[in-house]
Structure formats: structure tokens, C-alpha cells
Structure 1
Amino acid sequence: MAIYLMLLIFSTWLSHCVCVEPFNYVENGSIGSKQAVRVGVVIDLDSDVGKIAENYTSMALSDFYTRYADYRTRLNVAVKNYGKDDVIFAASAALELMKNEQVEAIIGPHRSSEAKFVIGLGERAQVPIISFSATSPTLSPTQSPFFIRTCHDDYSQIKPLTSIVQAFGWRQIIIIYEDTEFGNGLIPYLADALQEIDARIVYRSVISKPKNIPLELEKIKAMETRVILVHMTDALGSRLFLAANQTGMMSKGYVWMITDGLSTLLHSLEKQVTESMQGVLGIRPHVPNTNRLQEFKTRWKISEINLFGLWAYDTIWALAKAVELVSESHSNASTQSINNGRNIGEAFLGLRVSESGPVLLEKLKFTRFEGLSGKFRLIRGQSEVSEFEIVNVRRKMGERVIGYWTKKKGISSDSWENAKTGYLSSMHELIKGIIWPGYAKAPPKGWNIPVTGKRLRIGVPLTSGFNEFLNFKWDPITLEPTNFSGFTYDVFIAALEKLPFQIPHTFVPFVNSSRQSNGTYDEFLYQIKLQKFDAVVADATITANRSTYVDFTMPYSESGVSMVVKVNDKKNNNIWIFLKPLKWDLWLSSGLALFFTGFVVWLLEHRTNREFRGRPDQQLSTILWFSFSTLVFAHREKVENNWSRFVLIIWVFVVLILTQSYTASLATMLTVQRLQPSVVDVNELRMNDYFVGYQKNSYVRELLTGQLNLNESRLRHYSTPEEYHDALSKGSKNGGVEAIFDEIPYIKLFLAKYCSGYTMVGPKYKSDGFGFAFPSGSPLVYYFSRAILNITEDHNKMQEMEEKYFADQTKCQDSAASSTTSSGSSPSLSVCNFGGLFIITGLASIFSCVIYFVKFQRNNNIRSSMNAIHSKSSLWSRTTQMLKNCACKDLPLRAESNMRS
């Protein structure tokens, strides 16, 4: 508001500095019966855009009223040249047109910063402010109802720009823009859009005056990033590229892109400027090459068209059509001119309020026609562009269109027909058509080591143990690290070989003046943030906290944290341990099966086999002896009955399985079960207040005190596998520890040396593995991650490196699993494990007895006497007699016949 007051107060004495040039279209020397409508044009005729707009405005008026000679209205255009790039002069010129000329609309000014203040005056007077070149997104027709933009806003070119960045895989961008409304308006939106495609702005160079350009270019030249986006007008942008060429920044390896603020005016720039822009990529709205445009160029003898000029041309046509529509609407109600309706009220400092302004604004918003720049159609008060050209600046050939971007299809080939039909060319075809700075044909990677001869300072840790990952020696003469080896080192060298470029580097140990480790791994990695190192190659675990100040590559090794404890050798001195392999139900079932099988064999054999006969006590002892002797296959009695042999075949199979299972279970109890971990979980460590160890300088300390809630005073740190062994051997009560927490790769190396006395138990706490570290946003992360993926997918290569350093790990890989099993549930066997065997042997025995008794009844020589018994005796008597007969020895058939006779 303060600026508005200043503008209004000083408008009187500033008005004499403004040149008023009425530009009236006169037909046959006079306007005649045509109604003249006053329209103002506020423009800087000293600028390229101003000169172009004046020419195209004149051509537009001539062409329009030649085609629409029957229109009853004529635009009476008054051009005010404020002559300076100053918002005060531009606003004063607009104020003068509103007060003295009483214009119905104002076209311009063409700069966004100037248009911002003129829009405020237009709202007070309700006069439409129409801009064909103010593209800043901060100027919004939705927020300023009397503002019309007949061009696109800069926000619409964000998507084409980010599509190019994404297509070439660039991750870091430097932006150079001018400190004006035009320059500042685009940057917040562009930063958000780049973040969505995983790219970021690493430096913003804001230039307000040409004298600041050399200093800013020197800053940028010293940076690693080589992708530079310029968002400037032609006046400041020309000086920038001249200075960049002199500084040597238009050479191979650089990527320069420009927005349409420069790309639309390439043909109007001086030759030395375009020659210094060799290899620049730019985007600009696409103008269809219609027959009308070709006819326009031929009629006015124009070799190169200008987009701002076409927008100015279409603006005049749209305004002339809208004025005619307003005149028609007024004629229906009154014959009064649309210029006479301004008696609504007196505004501030004599600024009157227009009556026809709101009507003209509504008619203009709904105006539709086919213009030179394409279809004229306002959406929410402004023109929208959905089609862009990708241009490449050539030193000899000038600008060349190499591709297109459309909202529906994205980047397409250099054929507009292909772009319209949706044919997407490959990036290879698009890349072939680009000449980059320094006449390079291959796309730049987007970054480079800024100073010639500089080597990448790669930090490496100094460790006293676990040298399998990284190890080096000190040269006694140069006192420099040499003879690097280890799994981590080999992976890094293999990744370097797969990069598409060379990286000069030198390894710098993270040590103090005494050549001792200079801190923890967290402090080591933070040196990248402090710019002491350019990268870190180490067995560094990827954690969320570390990722806040460095960027990690893809992990080259899996990791995680677990607990290793001592294994207790508990010798079992129980004198009754021989009974434990079988449970009581299996012992009882086995005994019953033994006796039953012996009884069945005796029953089948005693009538014909002398070895199964004798006194009752002898026969009982025979049954018992035969049953138990079959357990060790030591029975001496010979069986003669085939059914007895059948029963024994089944029984021997059962006995074989029983004895083998008993032997295996007892052996397990006497050997494997004796190896049990001293501690099984973290809760036991907390309950007994044991001392716990961890590797020195590791992040595991934070895990123990934070996530596992262990007392910090009960923690002890160690460095080597030998120290681990010594601490676990002593135990917590003798100056050692009860358990050691460490990352699994280190635990496996420790167990490879001391697997007989220790085991890994408890849950595994996941981590993202080991990775190389670089500064946040470094493009090297992308290239190294791809290289690491190629290495890890090469199983032969990875296996070769792992066997080189970790060959001894395999002998102890199952130690944790075996100890966990032995300390679990009891290995004793129950009857359920052998129920099927008992059923088989029982059925076989019963089946044999049934067959035998059927045969016995058929051949019995005392059948007749038994029949008598059946008829006269009781059930008990018959059963007793049958058992007595079974106990009798079978007689020969001849003796049986004599007895009958």
C-alpha cells in the first residue's frame, strides 16, 4: 500500500517523463461512423520485447480490421513508452492512461515485476490489465480478478524441464536466476518438482546486477555439479553466457539449460551471444506451423517469428473481438458509447471507476478463435500451453528443434507428427541429435571433480581386529598407508572398475597424531559432513541416524546384530540316564509286547516243540527268556511252526526299530545335549545384571543402551576376537562378560576361530548392511550403487571374494542351530512314536493264534469227548478242559487210531 500511495502522489510530476504516442487505426482518413474504443499499451520500447510487441500490435490492428471491416468498433490504441526497467515509471504510465486517456483496457507492461503494480491500479479502476509476457507464477488471475494473461505462466514449463533432468539421470542441479519477480517466482515450484524425481538444487545463484556475474560463475566453477539451469531475461542472460564462455564453463562436461525467457528470443540475440551458447538446451512453447502462420510470414515478409510477438498479435485480436461484443450488448439497451459509462463514482486521487470494464473482462474471458500462436482460449483467466519444443543451440546452424514434450506423451522424437500421434522415440534417438558444450556428443554425467589434479580423499578406518574386512600397513619410508587388502577393499576396487569413468583417489586413514584410531564410526562418517573426506570406504553399517548427514550406496554385505555366549559342557552323571531315552508308557508297552509275543510263540510251539515243554514253571521261564532274548537276537530255542516264524518276522522288525531308536536317543543325551548355552536371551542378562561386551567404536553400544535397555555401567568394549575369547572365558564374575553383542559378520569370524566353545543365540536385530558413504546428494552414490548391484549379482565373483577371506566360517555355521535344538524339548521317545509297530505285531500274533486254533480244532483226536463236555459242562469247565488239551503234547496219528479202537 505504501508503494501505491507513492505512485499516486508522484504520478503528476512523473507523467511528463512519459511519452504518449496515440496509435489510431484510421480507415479512409477518418474513423467516420465507427465507434472508437480507447485502449492503452504500457511498454518499454527500448527492450527487445517492447520493440517486437509494437510491430506485432501494428500488424494485428491492420490484419483484423481488414478482415472484419464491418465491425462497428475500432480500437484506438495509445502506446506509453516508460523507457526504463522501473516499476514506478510503468505504474505511472498506466495511471496516466486511466486518468487522462480513460482507456477501457491496458495491455502490458511486459515485465512481471511491473505488471504486479499495474494490476493493483486496474482493480481500483476496474479496468482489465492484459499481459502477453508477464509469466511469473506469482501473478495469478484467480487472485487478481481484473488480470488477464494471454501467455502461459512459467509453472507450465516445470514439467518439461524436470522430464529432461529425469531422462538423463541427473541428480544435482544449480540454478542461476535474476533477482526479480520473473526470476524468483519460478524457483519454489521448481525445487518441489525436482525433489519429486529424486533430484535437488545444490546451489541457487541469485544475480541482481551484471557486475555480480563473474563472481558467481567462479563459485559455480569450483563446485562438483555441472548441470546448470538459467532462468533469466534476454538482457541479463546474454551477459551471463558471454561471461561463462570467457570463464571456460561452456566446455565439455557441462550441461546448460535455459527456460523460455531466453529460448523464445534466441534469434534476436547478438551473434557473439549465440556463439557462446554452443550446446545449450532450452524449452519453449510449441507454435503449430499452420497455413495462416505461413501466410502471415509471407505477407509481412517475416523470416523469424517471435512467440511474444505472436501473443501480442493474438491479444489485439481477442480484445478487438471482445470490444465488438460489448458494443453489441450495449446497443441493445442504449445507443450510448461504451466510453461514456464512467459516472459511477470518484475514486482515490481522481481515478474513476469504469462501468464497461467488468463487462469487457467477461467477454474477453470467453473469446475463442484460431490465432497465430494456436488456439486462443483462456482457462481461469490465462492461456495454457501443453506442448513444448526442446531446442539445441548450435554455433553454426543456430537453434535447432531436437524434440518435443507434450502433457500426454512426455518427451518424444524430433518429428511433431510422431509427438501428436503418440509415437515415442527412444532416448537413444533423442540423444543422437544433441550437441553438448565442447562439441561433445555423449551426454555429460552432470558432475565432475572441480579442480584439475585433485584426488578424491577416501577415508579408511584403522582397526586392530577383524582385518578380513579392511587392512593396510604403514610404509616405513613414506609413512603412508600401503598394501591394502580385505573384503571391503576388494568390493570397492571391483566397483571402481565397473564405473563408466575414472576417479582419481587417495586413501586417508582416520587416525590421530599417534597413528591410533581417531574415534567411533559415527565420528568417522561425520568427517564427510565436515568436508574432511570425500567418501568413506569401510565396514560401516547403514543406519537411520548416519543417513541424516551422509548418503550410503547400496549395501554390499548383509548385516544384523546378534549375541554370542559361552557353551557350557554339562556332563550328565545321572545313574538312571539309561532309562531316559524311553518314556514310561513306551517302557510298559514294550514289556507287554515282549511278554505277549513270547506267549504267542509258546502257544504255537509247545504242542510239537520239545524246547517249549516241561513243568509249568519251566514253560513260564521259557516264555520270559525267549521274549527278552529276542531283543538282542540271542534266543536259542528253535521254532518249528510256520506261524511262529511269521510272528517272529514281524517282532524282529519291531525289535530292530526299538533298539536302534533307543541307541540313537541315548547317544544324543550323552553327547549333544551336554552342550548348552550359558545365556539364552537378553532378559536373563538384565535379571542377573551380567556384564555385556561389544565391539569398540561400533554403533552396537547405542543399540544395547537404547533398544535393549541394558545398563551402561555393565557394558565393556573389545576390539579383537582374542579379546572376545578372553572375556567370555572369564565370565561376568571374573572380570569378563557373559555375552557379547556384535554384528553377525564379525560373530561368524569369531566363531570360525573358537566355534567349539561358543554359540550364537537369541534373536537377530536387523540392519541394512555395510555400505560406502558419500556426501549428501553426491551423484557418485548412484554410480557406485549400480556398480555394487552388478557385483553382487555376479555370484562367481562374490563367492571368490568371500572364500578368500571367510573360508573358515562354514565349519561352525550350524553350531547355533544344534545348541538350540539340544536345549529345547526332551528327546525322550513315547509310545505314540511306535504305536503302528505295536499294532502290526499284535495283529500278526492274534492272526497266527486264530489260524492255529482253527487247525487244532479240525485235527483234534478227542473231538467227540469234547462235544460231550460242551453239552454237559459249564463254560468254565469247558474253558479249563480246552487249556488242558492245549497243554498236552500232540500224539502221532497211529496211536490216536489205536486208542479209538
Structure 2
Amino acid sequence: MQGVLGIRPFVPNTTRLQSVSMRLRNKYQVNRGPTVFGLWAYDTVWLLARSVENVTHANLSFTASNALYNSTDFSKIGVSEMGPKLKASLESTNFNGTSGDFNLVNGQLQSGPFEITNVVGAYNDPVGHWTGGNISIKWPVNNHDVPKGWQWPTTNKTLLIGVPKKPGFTEFVQLNTTASHNFSGYSIKVFQAAIDLLPYKVSYTFEEYDKSYDELVYQVYLKNYDAVVGDITILANRSMYVDFTLPYTESGVRMLAPIKDVNKKSPWTFLAPWTPTLWLTTGAFIFLTGITIWLTEHRVNVEFRGNPANQMGSILYFAFSTLVFAHRERMVSNLSRIVVITWVFVVLILQQSYTASLSSKLTVEQLQTTVTSIEQVVKAGQNVGYLEDSFMPDLLKRLGFNKEKTISLSSPSEYNDALSNGTVAVILDEIPYLKVFLKKYPNNYSMVGPTYKTDGFGFAFPKGSPLVPDVSTKILQVMESDKMTKFDEELYGSSTFTDKGDTTTSTSLTFHSFMGLFLITGVSSILALIIHVFFTIYQRHNSSTSNEAVQNPFQKDELREEDQSIGHTMTSPNFSDNVEIIITSPDSESDFGETSNDEGTPEREISNRQIEMPSFGEMLDHTREGSNE
């Protein structure tokens, strides 16, 4: 019965109770006073006496009795006529008896407060009261704080908890002689928060252990420690000797590598925004556009004529000047205008894209890790660092590293020195340690590569300890509360720890990005050339037909004979013998380098002979004379 809680009616320890208890003990020669039931009986007699006293002035006669002498038939016994009054007096009378307030409600004794007692040895130790209203509960040792209840059910001793000595990453476990528990850190805070949530009290004390983690865990198996608290990684070989709680940190092992700016500034940085393919394609379309404009303009536009060197210069100058919208030549052909408008639209988009990309490469740092995978380090034969006194050597061996290529480090400052001076290419460690390191050195390093699975940090207890499931449950409650968020912010800060090695950096613009634009300008140029060739052939055909009609000798002789038969000769500028008409092909070699004297008729060259044009009056006289004849 030790430690059992009980409940009983509360009896105030008044002077009257002490007097009655003493008289009863003396009368009956007993050591203990009356129980609460004896006190209720005592008070009931007093209630009846008070009620009878209140109705003594009334008639005390009885009804006639039909019962015989010594009869046990109570139904035939006489009834007092003052019974109803006595009943009413009993229900209305109340007084402060030996058991407290004594009064009847609907014929039942009114319940009073109860006393909660705790069995301690041979005595009942009161721990509080229970009433119908809200009162302040007084717990043992005159304490108003609600106790947790029992202590750890398997033992009453204080737990001795081993804590690893951590010279490097003191953020997890740190000796603090000024604190009440003499240890602080992330792991200690999580453990204390979980213990505080247990429904029973657990007394514990910490003790520092300065050997390896495996040996510290093994001390629990040897029963030198009742538990181990700290940054203890949950491993399969350790689980053979102890039971671990659920992990309270992020699990996994990753690689830490330096970062660098991949955008190296050089005299040829202006070429970086475009890939070589895009540069060659743009140059080809510049030449195509220039050739198209020359073919459609040189027959009708003197600005595109001259010797071959000048015409080639005009082609290139016009095409390249469109890149900066500085072309001044006047377009005569509608086909040329369409080609130029389309090409200028493409140039506008290319120019804006080039400017944006070049600005990004010149002003924005594009950071990337020097190493992207662990296989790259193994293949290059580079050194890799790891945290001293950890399980990393076994993992590095499985990943293919030789023991000569692995270097143990013990603190964040050694991590920084080894990476900055090239002693190691990367560091392989658990994610919580890497986050603490990146909080101190956020700008020069980044986590990269895949995550190798581990189970995180946990607390170790002896095999079969009943504390393991309870502490694991409370760890989950702590992780789901705001306390864990506060602990994480104190440990890691507000950094997000994005992987700079996995982010996509700005690359050069490719031909594929502008394929649609080049397709549009290419189609427009080709269509313009096709239409130009078609109309050129058509014009040549019409020009050849006209020349045959003018140079037909039979038609000319017939006209002369007809004029002679009429008796006069009519002179026409189109058929004058003194007119020499020279028709040259627009694509002939002679026209390529010569310019017409008459800019209004670039397709023909007419000699300097003066043609006598007949006046309108002479033509009219000739017509009249012919009609009179």
C-alpha cells in the first residue's frame, strides 16, 4: 500500500472534536478516537435531541394501539401525533457538529469536502482537499506546485549520464561549470526538454567522458553509466549493446566543397553571352540579308551600284549597320523593305538578349562548387577530410578511398584551413556538423552531392530500459513544438543552406533559343529572292518581245512603201532612221560596272543624237493633205 492515494470525508480538527474524542477514548479505554462514521452517529443523536426539544410544546399524545403486549407487529403500534412536526424539525435543523457542518437535504446528509491522503509508512499523509468549488490545492511540503507523481519506477537512485567531451563542435555539448547542471548545448537542451515532459520525475546528473564515442556507448552496456546524452550517431554496431531513442536531428552524410565564381573575367568576355554556333549563324544571316537587299535593289537603286568592291562594301556595311540600327540607305523595292523590317525585328531581340546576358556575366557572381561528386574526388586521387573520432573511416573505405587519402580534422577552424589551403579537396561529414560549419563560414563553401543515409543523433539507454519508449515519445513532442524551432535557430541560425553546386548557373545563349527568329527572317529573305527572280524573268520576256517588234525589217519596209504610195513621208521619233536605239540587258557584264547618264531610265542607254520631233501643226497639215488627195 506504500504510495497509494486515498480519499475520505474531511473532518475539521476542532476543539469540540478533540474533547469528544478524549472522553470516548477514556470511557472505552481505546487509543484511537472515533471514525468518521462514529462521529456522524454522534451528531445524528444530537440532531434528534435538538429536533425533539424544538417540538416539546406540542401535543405528545399517541393514536390508539391495537398491538398486544410484547407484540412485534409494528403496524399496530400507536403513532405519535407530533411525528410530522418532528420530521419537519429534523429537516430544518442544522448545526456545527463534531464532523463539521451537519444538515439534511431531502432526508440525506449533505456531503462535505473530501480529503486526499497519501499512504506513507503506517500513516495517512493528507495531500489536498476536494470540494464542489475551486480552491487552491496544497501539496506535500506546503507546496502549491503540482507534483509529477512517482519517481522513475525501476529505481530510486539518481541517473548517472555520460556526456562526450567535444573539443571541436561545442555547440552540441559544452561543459559549463557555472550552470546548475554543469553542461549546456543543443543535445543537452533537447534531452532536458524531453525529460521535463515525462509524467514522473527523473533525477539525473551528467559526467564528462573523454574517450571515443564507441567506448562511451559501451560503458552503458557495462553499467558504468545509466545513459549517454550527446551527439551520438545511431549505428547498427552500437545498437547491439544499447537501446537508442528516436533521432532528434536531421540524418545523413554529405560532402562539403569550396565554391568559386565560374564567370572568369577576360578580354574576350564579350563573346561569352553567345555560343559559337549562334555567332556563326548570326554572321551567316547577316550576309544572307545583305545579299538579298543588293539583289533586289541594285537594278533600281543607284546607291547599290558601282564597281564590285564598292558594291561588296555596300552589302556588308548595310547588313552590319542594321545591328545598331544605323543604316541610311533608302529602300526603293518593296521586297527590300519587307526583308529589312523582318531582320531589324530579329536584331532587336538578339541585341536585348545579348545585353542582358553580358550584364549578368560581368556583374553577377555565378558560384559553383569545385567538386560535384564523390566519384570525381576518388578518380582524381584527391584528399578527403572527416571528423576525428567518428565512423567516417568505414564509410570512406566503402566509397573507394585509400586510407592514405583520408585526413582527420577536429574542429570547424581546421575544416576551413584544410579546404582553403588545398590540403583536402572535400570534407565528408554528418549534416548537423556541416550546417554548424556553414553558419560560421557561409560564403566560401557549400554542401554538394548525394546524401548517404544514417539515422541521426539519439540518446543511449541500457537494453530493455523502460525510459526508452517514454523519452522517444517526448522527443517527438518536443520536435513538433516551438521549442525545437528555437533550438534549431540557436544552433544553425536563419540560414537556408542551399546547395550552390546544384543550382543552375547562367549559361551562354544557344542557337536553339532563337531558331524561330532565324526561321522567320530566313523565310522572308528566300521568298523575297524567289519573287525578285520571277519578276526579273517576266520583265526580260516582255522586253525581248518588244525588241523583236521594233527591229522587224519586213514591217519597217512595208511602212515605208505605204508612205511613198501616199506621196509624203511622216517622220516619227520611234521609227526615224536617224535614231539609234541600244537595248542592253540589266544583268549583262557591261551594266555591272557602268552607270546610265539618265538616272530616270536606268535600264536603257540612248545615244546623244538629237531627234527632230515634228510639231503638232506639221502633223496636222500632213493629215489634211492626205485627206484632200
Structure 2 counterparts to residues 677-688 of structure 1, below 5 A? 677-679=369-371, 681-682=373-374, 685=377
- Give the direction of change, closer, same or farther, for the CA distance of 1:586–1:531 in structure 2 (3 Å limit): same
Inter-partner Cα distance in structure 2 for 1:715 and 1:555: 28
Structure 2 counterparts to residues 425-504 of structure 1, below 5 A? 448-452=152-156, 454-475=157-178, 481-482=182-183, 484-486=184-186, 488-499=187-198, 501-504=199-202
Q: CA deviation at 1:845?
A: 2.6
Inter-partner Cα distance in structure 1 for 2:282 and 2:502: 33
- Give the direction of change, closer, same or farther, for the CA distance of 1:475–1:791 in structure 2 (3 Å limit): closer
Q: CA deviation at 1:551?
A: 1.7
- Give the direction of change, closer, same or farther, for the CA distance of 1:685–1:639 in structure 2 (3 Å limit): same
Q: Is 1:816 aligned to 2:520, yes or no? A: no
Find the counterpart in structure 2 of residue 10 from structure 1: none
Find the counterpart in structure 1 of residue 204 from structure 2: 506
Mapped contact 1:458–1:505 kept (Cα < 8 A): no
Of the structure 1 ranges 454-463 and 599-608, higher mean CA displacement relative to structure 2 is found in 599-608
- Give the direction of change, closer, same or farther, for the CA distance of 1:745–1:654 in structure 2 (3 Å limit): farther
- Give the direction of change, closer, same or farther, for the CA distance of 1:754–1:853 in structure 2 (3 Å limit): same
Q: Is 1:747 aligned to 2:434, yes or no? A: yes
How does the TM-score come out when normalised to structure 1? Answer: 0.41
Inter-partner Cα distance in structure 2 for 1:541 and 1:777: 19
Mapped contact 1:494–1:791 kept (Cα < 8 A): yes
Q: Is 1:843 aligned to 2:523, yes or no? A: yes
- Give the direction of change, closer, same or farther, for the CA distance of 1:586–1:715 in structure 2 (3 Å limit): closer
Mapped contact 2:367–2:500 kept (Cα < 8 A): no
Give 5+ residue unaligned stretches, structure 2.
6-148, 551-583, 605-610, 614-629
**Cα displacement string for residues 55-85 of structure 1 (whole angstroms, at most 9, x for unaligned residues):** xxxxxxxxxxxxxxxxxxxxxxxxxxxxxxx
Inter-partner Cα distance in structure 1 for 2:345 and 2:190: 58
Q: Is 1:694 aligned to 2:386, yes or no? A: yes
Inter-partner Cα distance in structure 2 for 1:536 and 1:649: 79
Q: Secondary structure at the match of 1:764?
A: strand
Aligned to 2:343, which of 644, 648, 651? 651
- Which letter does structure 2 place at the counterpart of 1:593? F
Structure 2 counterparts to residues 505-524 of structure 1, below 5 A? 505-511=203-209, 518-524=210-216
Q: CA deviation at 1:806?
A: 1.5
- Give the direction of change, closer, same or farther, for the CA distance of 1:581–1:691 in structure 2 (3 Å limit): same
Find the counterpart in structure 2 of residue 803 from structure 1: 489
Inter-partner Cα distance in structure 2 for 1:881 and 1:688: 68
Find the counterpart in structure 2 of residue 427 from structure 1: none
Find the counterpart in structure 2 of residue 624 from structure 1: 316
- Give the direction of change, closer, same or farther, for the CA distance of 1:714–1:618 in structure 2 (3 Å limit): closer
- Which letter does structure 2 place at the counterpart of 1:804? E
Q: Secondary structure at the match of 2:394?
A: helix
Q: CA deviation at 1:768?
A: 1.6
Q: Secondary structure at the match of 2:386?
A: strand
Find the counterpart in structure 2 of residue 724 from structure 1: 415
**Cα displacement string for residues 203-237 of structure 1 (whole angstroms, at most 9, x for unaligned residues):** xxxxxxxxxxxxxxxxxxxxxxxxxxxxxxxxxxx
Aligned to 2:248, which of 556, 567, 584? 556
Q: Is 1:834 aligned to 2:525, yes or no? A: no
Structure 2 counterparts to residues 762-781 of structure 1, below 5 A? 762-781=449-468
Structure 2 counterparts to residues 93-112 of structure 1, below 5 A? none
Mapped contact 1:870–1:878 kept (Cα < 8 A): no
Q: CA deviation at 1:767?
A: 0.8
Q: CA deviation at 1:690?
A: 4.5
Q: CA deviation at 1:853?
A: 7.2
Q: CA deviation at 1:481?
A: 0.7
**Cα displacement string for residues 382-432 of structure 1 (whole angstroms, at most 9, x for unaligned residues):** xxxxxxxxxxxxxxxxxxxxxxxxxxxxxxxxxxxxxxxxxxxxxxxxxxx
- Give the direction of change, closer, same or farther, for the CA distance of 1:529–1:730 in structure 2 (3 Å limit): same
Q: Secondary structure at the match of 1:816?
A: coil
Q: CA deviation at 1:840?
A: 1.0
Q: CA deviation at 1:519?
A: 1.5
- Give the direction of change, closer, same or farther, for the CA distance of 1:714–1:532 in structure 2 (3 Å limit): same
Inter-partner Cα distance in structure 1 for 2:364 and 2:235: 39
Q: Secondary structure at the match of 2:255?
A: strand
Q: CA deviation at 1:841?
A: 0.9
Structure 2 counterparts to residues 174-213 of structure 1, below 5 A? none
Find the counterpart in structure 2 of residue 96 from structure 1: none
RMSD of the alignment, in Å? 4.6
Mapped contact 1:481–1:507 kept (Cα < 8 A): no
Inter-partner Cα distance in structure 1 for 2:193 and 2:548: 99
Structure 2 counterparts to residues 283-294 of structure 1, below 5 A? none
**Cα displacement string for residues 155-180 of structure 1 (whole angstroms, at most 9, x for unaligned residues):** xxxxxxxxxxxxxxxxxxxxxxxxxx
- Which letter does structure 2 place at the counterpart of 1:710? F
Mapped contact 1:462–1:509 kept (Cα < 8 A): no
- Whose radius of gyration is greater, 1 or 2? 2
Would you say how many aligned residue pairs link Structure 1 and Structure 2?
428
**Cα displacement string for residues 69-110 of structure 1 (whole angstroms, at most 9, x for unaligned residues):** xxxxxxxxxxxxxxxxxxxxxxxxxxxxxxxxxxxxxxxxxx
Q: Is 1:538 aligned to 2:230, yes or no? A: yes
Find the counterpart in structure 1 of residue 543 from structure 2: 865
Mapped contact 2:168–2:410 kept (Cα < 8 A): yes
Inter-partner Cα distance in structure 1 for 2:527 and 2:243: 79
**Cα displacement string for residues 771-815 of structure 1 (whole angstroms, at most 9, x for unaligned residues):** 222222223322333333344445x654444333322533x5232
**Cα displacement string for residues 688-712 of structure 1 (whole angstroms, at most 9, x for unaligned residues):** 654432212222233224x234343
**Cα displacement string for residues 2-36 of structure 1 (whole angstroms, at most 9, x for unaligned residues):** xxxxxxxxxxxxxxxxxxxxxxxxxxxxxxxxxxx
- Give the direction of change, closer, same or farther, for the CA distance of 1:621–1:588 in structure 2 (3 Å limit): same
Inter-partner Cα distance in structure 1 for 2:320 and 2:475: 68
Inter-partner Cα distance in structure 2 for 1:497 and 1:598: 83
Inter-partner Cα distance in structure 2 for 1:527 and 1:624: 86
Q: CA deviation at 1:743?
A: 0.8
Inter-partner Cα distance in structure 1 for 2:548 and 2:235: 93
Q: Secondary structure at the match of 1:767?
A: coil
Mapped contact 2:369–2:501 kept (Cα < 8 A): no
Query: Which of the two has greater helix per residue?
Result: 1
Q: Secondary structure at the match of 2:232?
A: coil
Q: Secondary structure at the match of 2:247?
A: coil
Aligned to 2:425, which of 735, 738, 750? 738
- Which letter does structure 2 place at the counterpart of 1:780? L
Q: Secondary structure at the match of 1:474?
A: coil
Q: Secondary structure at the match of 1:540?
A: strand
**Cα displacement string for residues 296-321 of structure 1 (whole angstroms, at most 9, x for unaligned residues):** xxxxxxxxxxxxxxxxxxxxxxxxxx
Q: CA deviation at 1:592?
A: 1.6
Inter-partner Cα distance in structure 1 for 2:241 and 2:318: 83
- Which letter does structure 1 place at the counterpart of 2:461? F
Mapped contact 2:368–2:501 kept (Cα < 8 A): no
Inter-partner Cα distance in structure 2 for 1:780 and 1:640: 95
- Give the direction of change, closer, same or farther, for the CA distance of 1:777–1:816 in structure 2 (3 Å limit): farther
Mapped contact 1:456–1:503 kept (Cα < 8 A): no
- Which letter does structure 2 place at the counterpart of 1:505? S
How does the TM-score come out when normalised to structure 2? Answer: 0.56
Give 5+ residue unaligned stretches, structure 1.
1-244, 253-444, 512-517
With a CA cutoff of 8 Å and minimum separation of 6, indicate the structure with the bigger relative contact order: 2
Inter-partner Cα distance in structure 1 for 2:530 and 2:400: 72
- Which letter does structure 2 place at the counterpart of 1:834? F
Q: Secondary structure at the match of 2:236?
A: coil
**Cα displacement string for residues 542-561 of structure 1 (whole angstroms, at most 9, x for unaligned residues):** 21112111222222222222
Inter-partner Cα distance in structure 2 for 1:879 and 1:640: 17
Inter-partner Cα distance in structure 2 for 1:772 and 1:881: 98
- Which letter does structure 2 place at the counterpart of 1:473? N
**Cα displacement string for residues 730-763 of structure 1 (whole angstroms, at most 9, x for unaligned residues):** 333xxxx333221122123223333433343444
